[in-house]
Amino acid sequence: MIQQAKRLNKRSDSTTQQLNNTMNRQDEFKKVVAHCKEYGFIYQSSEVYDGLSAVYDYGPYGVELKNNLKQYWWKSMVQMNDNIVGIDAAIFMHPKVWKASGHVDAFNDPLIDNKDSNKRYRADQLIEGYMDKIEAKINKEIAKAAKRFGDAFDEAEFRKTNPRVLANAEKHAATAKRLATAMTNEDMGDLKAMIEEYGIACPDSGSKNWTEARQFNLMFSTQLGNIAGEEGKLYLRPETAQGIFVNFSNVQKTTRQKLPFGIAQIGKAFRNEIVARQFIFRMREFEQMEMQFFIKPGTQDEWFEKWKEKRMQWHTSLGHPAEKLRWHDHDNLAHYAKAATDIEFDFPFGFKELEGIHSRGDFDLSQHQELSGRKIQYFDSETKENYVPYVVETSIGCDRMFLATMSNALVEEQVPGSDNMRDVLKLNPAIAPVKCAVLPLKKNEPGIVALAKKLHKDLSFSFNTHYDDTGSIGKLYRRQDAVGTPFCVTIDFDSMEDQTVTIRDRDSLVQERVPMERVEEIVKEKVDMRKLFS
Ligand code: GAP
């Protein structure tokens, strides 16, 4: 239910966004994916064996960017907040954790197989695909009318009056309602009935020969070596949050934190997604950055609002334009949640969840208290009471953050003053994988090379620097632009004479002659993460 409920209520908004998914945006997405591979950001896992579906490896530039995003999160959540501490819990946890959290019984998606193609699908996604087609029909009518009426076209009026649009809108609403009910009630029979009634065919084979729909638990399991059977069954954690909940008392006692306080962690999570799509958006192995904020019962609404605001600010500080971010409140809540909202980002395939903020009440701590038989409570020294704290959670996927950042930053533009085009990754300098590239103007000139290598070595102590002499200066600039390096320093004949260098700004392309000894200070000031907080 955790998954089902969350996915369901995303549906209503995603329809509009899908209408806006033009070919342009599809091309934009393909470009981001190709760029990630070409420039060593992300590779398909086990590519030499034709890859492992929905699992990806981060390459040399990717790992730097991802680490910087994690560092920005850790700094702003843990190091800049006296009342938030970090932990790093193990991936494996006692199997009872997942019973208590509800994941064993309710972390399911409805799946259905096609008997002819042997392909497996999410039943709800097949029905959503059918609904997308209805939307596409509405969209087509509107596009046709807009062309016919030109400037005089009133889309709102047309939607209200055109009989074909009205009929399709009604069909869409009825399907959405029926799907929502079937999902909430876990009515597998009705999901199958809908697929048959709507004549939904297997996208792979066109066959309509379906098995029954059934629930599929998304947790990966494995076995402890020394204990056979169910007793030794372990799960790969599907969320990092539970490692925080079961450590609540340990952390509270050892750090002597008073409510309200938070525990944060960054770590891998695993979900056996039936259909994993859209590159690193939905993966089977991914990373989460989660923070559980423990509060006095009764103060949850106030903290929920505070964390919503803080988290949105975190995103905009990084330079993501406000119009690419929006809220999406959940109508149907996961079993643990009292209130939930998503920060959605306008990915190249439309607005989708980037981060979740959930008011979890005392669900998790109470469940662990009950199943473990241990007291998991907080002693409030002011009221002299013991109670189970409430929790407001912020949860963001590292990989989704990476994809949002890449797709926002990648720009194809004409090089000012030239007919040439360039791909440039306009990342905020504080998170750029490489902060400064040192480029000798002549690679066969030992004096220039030695000076460049020395500068590179010196700068490496302060930030990530690259030395490159593998091409013409134009080609070297293009490559650094493509990986988002904010500054390039060129060393030439004059540098040997007067110890000055040229420093080039990635975005403005302005080149400035500066004393070599000032490069470190100039770059350091511009790439300082502190700027993100000001
Ligand atoms: N502890 C709450 C929780 O896990 P969630 O909405 O299921 O909530 C939180 O996941 C975040 O984790 C999402 O907003 C998303 O960024 C990321 N995420 C979830 N499933 C993912 C997947 N299969 N691949 C990549 N990121 C995922």
pLDDT in tens, 412-462: 998 877 888 999 999 999 999 999 999 999 988 999 999 999 999 999 999
Give the pLDDT score at 534. 77
Q: How far, in Å, CA of 11 to CA of 190, rounded?
A: 18
Q: What's the sign of the alpha-carbon dihedral 279, 285, 291, 292?
A: positive
Cβ of 403 less than 6 Å from ligand 1: no
Which fold does the domain 415-533 belong to in CATH?
A: Rossmann fold (3.40.50)
**What does each C-alpha distance from 76 to 63, 308, 313 come to in angstroms?**
20, 14, 11
Q: Which ranges of 353-489 would DSSP assign to H, the alpha helix?
A: 363-372, 398-409, 446-460, 473-482
Tokens 């080609």 appear where? 475
CATH topology match: 42-105+218-408 vs 108-217: no
Residues 246-271 have a mean pLDDT of 97
Cβ of 10 less than 6 Å from ligand 1: no
Q: How far, in Å, CA of 77 to CA of 28, rounded?
A: 32
Give the pLDDT score at 228. 77
Which fold does the domain 42-105+218-408 belong to in CATH?
A: BirA Bifunctional Protein; domain 2 (3.30.930)
Q: What's the sign of the alpha-carbon dihedral 476, 478, 483, 488?
A: positive
Q: How far, in Å, CA of 312 to CA of 367, rounded?
A: 30
**Mean pLDDT, all residues of the chain:** 92
Report phi then psi at 373, rounded to 5. Answer: 75, 5
Residue 2 reports pLDDT greater than 60 = no
Q: 396: CA distance to ligand 1 center in Å?
A: 7
Buried/exposed 37-54: b ≥16 CB within 10 Å, e otherwise? eebbbbebbeeeeeeeeb
> In this prediction, what percent of the chain has a pLDDT beyond 90?
84
Residue 498 reports pLDDT greater than 70 = yes
pLDDT in tens, 501-515: 999 999 999 999 999
Radius of gyration of the chain (CA): 27
CA angle 351, 354, 355 (to 5 degrees): 135
Residue 9 reports pLDDT greater than 60 = no
Peptide bond into 260 cis (omega under 30): yes
Assign 276 a pLDDT band (cuts: 50, 70, 90): confident
Contact 396, 291 (CB under 8 A): no
Residue type for position 264: A
Residues 476-493 have a mean pLDDT of 97
Residue 153 reports pLDDT greater than 70 = yes
Query: What residue segments make up the domains of the chain, in order of their start?
Result: 1-38, 42-105+218-408, 108-217, 415-533
Which fold does the domain 108-217 belong to in CATH?
A: Herpes Virus-1 (3.30.40)
Which residue among 400, 401, 402, 403 has the greatest number of ligand 1 atoms within 8 angstroms of its CB, and so is best to mutate? 400
Give the pLDDT score at 346. 95
Q: 239: CA distance to ligand 1 center in Å?
A: 8
Nearest to 40 by CA among 7, 69, 74, 63: 63
Nearest to 144 by CA among 130, 125, 129, 164: 164
251: how many CB neighbours lie within 10 A of its CB?
Answer: 17
Which residue among 353, 359, 391 has the greatest number of ligand 1 atoms within 8 angstroms of its CB, and so is best to mutate? 353
pLDDT in tens, 206-229: 999 999 999 999 999 999 887 777
Q: 257: CA distance to ligand 1 center in Å?
A: 28
For residue 39, what is the enclosing H or E element? none
